[in-house]
Amino acid sequence: MASQVKVQKVATLTGHRDCVYTLERAGETHLFFSAGGDGLVAQWDLNDPENGELIANAEKSVYALRYLPERHLLLIGQNTEGLQVIDLQDKKILKSVALPKVPIFDIVASAVTGKLYVALGNGGICVLNLETFALETIIRKSDQSARCLAINQHTQELAAGYSDNTVRIFDLATMQQKYELKQHTNSVFAMAYSPEGDLLLTGGRDAHLRVWEAKQEYKERGYLIAHMYTINHIAYSPDGRYFATCSMDKSIKIWNAQTFKLLKVIDKVRNASHGTSVNKLFWTAHQNQLVSCSDDRTISVWDINF
């Protein structure tokens, strides 16, 4: 079964001086951003992967980036220092937004509500005006970290995963809590809605990948013990037929999005993959390439052929 998927490492990107925590798409499919423990934010070109371009130095660890395509802006979540808004055209700081002095773990944006949602280390979710970046409110349902966010465009809901082992579902416009999912037995670090918005996948420190029926009041469809250790990130393929998970167990796994069958394991032994925790994935339509980043300070680019 596994041999149906061919994986080849096409590049290893180096230059970060500390763990690489996050990856984010850029304006074109062959471009993406990275950031991590060294505070450096870089842009990479998959057509010329050897040469990264320094975009900003946040001077603190960065766990979260968000690209706003309409205005060609990059949002940088600085650890304990709030949000930096970078104008990519002029490569300068457009705005610095003061937020509670705690880590920023995730940032998502909705053009429909005109809001920005920021997950904080104190359990708060900041709601900001997408146009002005003014802080409008902070929703706090837990005193433990809000670690990951996902927007369901079809149902206009925001899912949030917390370190209190809970997934909470909010109405995107009102931020009223609709559901509380408590099946995880440890911190929830990763989540993704399926492209049609009918499923929510969640994962975290319990290494379980849980599948929820988003359009049936988040009834749990089932779960898989997907990794040996923490699931750090979940990313769907551009065509939505597959998804990938990455883990603290140093591996990346490719799954069939319909059957949830494991199709491929990418690891150090078989594929010269990362030597430490794999933190984030970026699956781009550019030659269907999968990009991964790790605590080992490197970024790997994979050709995935089905």
Q: 231 phi and psi, to 5 degrees?
A: -85, 120
How far apart are alpha carbons 187 and 18 in whole angstroms?
24
Q: Give the mean pLDDT per block of 10 residues along the chain (306 residues).
A: 80 97 97 97 95 93 97 94 95 94 97 98 98 98 98 98 98 98 98 98 98 98 96 97 98 97 95 96 96 98 95
Q: Quick check: 107 and 119 in contact, CB under 8 A?
A: yes
Q: What is the pLDDT, as a whole number, of residue 3?
A: 58
List Cα–Cα distances, 204 to 57, 93, 232, 273, in angstroms.
Answer: 29, 33, 6, 21
Domains and CATH numbers, the chain: 2-19+103-280+288-305 (2.130.10.10)
Nearest to 289 by CA among 44, 16, 2: 44
User: Looking at the DSSP assignment, which residues form a beta bridge with residue 128?
Assistant: 116, 135
- Output the six-digit token pair for 70: 């309409």
- The 8-class DSSP code of residue 154 comes to T
Q: What is the pLDDT, as a whole number, of residue 111?
A: 96
Q: What is the pLDDT, as a whole number, of residue 2?
A: 44
How far apart are alpha carbons 152 and 194 in whole angstroms?
9
How far apart are alpha carbons 209 and 228 in whole angstroms?
11
Q: What is the pLDDT, as a whole number, of residue 4?
A: 82
Q: What is the pLDDT, as a whole number, of residue 233?
A: 98
User: Looking at the DSSP assignment, which residues form a beta bridge with residue 86?
Assistant: 74, 93
Q: What is the pLDDT, as a whole number, of residue 50?
A: 85
